[in-house]
Amino acid sequence: MRLDQEVGFSLGVLLFMQLLTAFAAIALFERMSPAVEEILLENVSSQEAATEMLSILASPAPEQRAEAFGQALDRARDSITDPRERALVEAIAVRSQAALTGDLRASVEVVDSLRQLSAVNRELMQEANQVALQRGRAGAWAAVVLGVLTFLIGTTVYRRMRTRIERPLLDVDATLLAARAGDVLRRAAPLGGPRELRRISQNVNWMLDRWMLQREHGSEDRLRAALLHLLDRDPYPVLLVEPAEGILAMNRGALELLDREERPADLLERLRAGEAIEGWSVQDVPNTEVRVLSRAG
């Protein structure tokens, strides 16, 4: 996976979980709203109708009571949500006419039915309230579960980004800082992560290898230049020879002399045989196989 895809995927997962949590919360509140609305529109309306019918029965104006009572009874009938309400409303409708005309027994029966209707409405309101509370608790726990899920997924995505993006970058940075401090042997580990980061680690390691190689060769070249400078300060021919390897270095005087009088192969052959070389003095360099041949004028 490329670096841009890695970052885009990680951020996309986090944004998706945030949107999922937001829409889930909206859906939960939408489920709670009908329960509350049901309490207000149905049971409250029936309760109000029952209260109005009780007040009408106590009204001293008989000519106005029948019409008002009928309207309240219709509202109660339209608000029926339970079979118990239907039976009580029908009982009230049957005895209402006699109660409105002054029949004491009918009035008592209607009032008792209205009280029962009010009690049933209160019970239904409590049941609807319990349903709303249950939905609210379910919504709260669902929000908690979504929140925990979002946290776990976010933590996983963050750890993935640290492992695959942050740590490789920090490793490259630490390798470059070590090189600046003089540790030219440390290398970045091009393991895991997007292709771009692996390629960056490989390129950094390649540049450090090249730099170290050039540095070593440059140091040898500088030492050889310094050695030749010192040899050229001697006015007489001087050679540095290692019998097994051959001539390592010589000054200008030795180069001119060998071109005129001596063959390098003859010198090496006599040196390897341990023979004395006429006209040349031989000195050993301690702890090495190198010999210093010099020839006075």
What is the number of helices (H) and of strands (E) in the chain? 9, 4
Q: The pTM is what?
A: 0.44
For the beta carbon of residue 144, count every other beta carbon within 10 angstroms.
10
CA distance linking residue 277 with residue 284, whole number of Å: 14
For the beta carbon of residue 193, count every other beta carbon within 10 angstroms.
23
> Can you give the residue ranges of every domain in the chain?
3-162, 234-294
Per-residue pLDDT tens, the chain, 297 aa: give them: 565 566 667 777 777 777 777 777 666 666 655 555 555 555 667 777 777 777 777 766 555 677 788 888 888 888 777 788 888 888 888 888 787 777 788 888 888 888 888 888 778 777 777 777 777 777 777 777 877 887 788 788 778 877 888 888 888 888 888 887 777 778 887 667 788 888 888 888 888 877 776 666 666 667 777 787 788 888 888 888 888 878 788 888 877 776 666 566 777 788 788 887 777 888 888 888 888 888 875
CATH topology of domain 3-162: Four Helix Bundle (Hemerythrin (Met), subunit A) (1.20.120)
Given a contact cutoff of 8 angstroms between Cβ atoms, the answer to whether 94 and 56 are in contact is: no
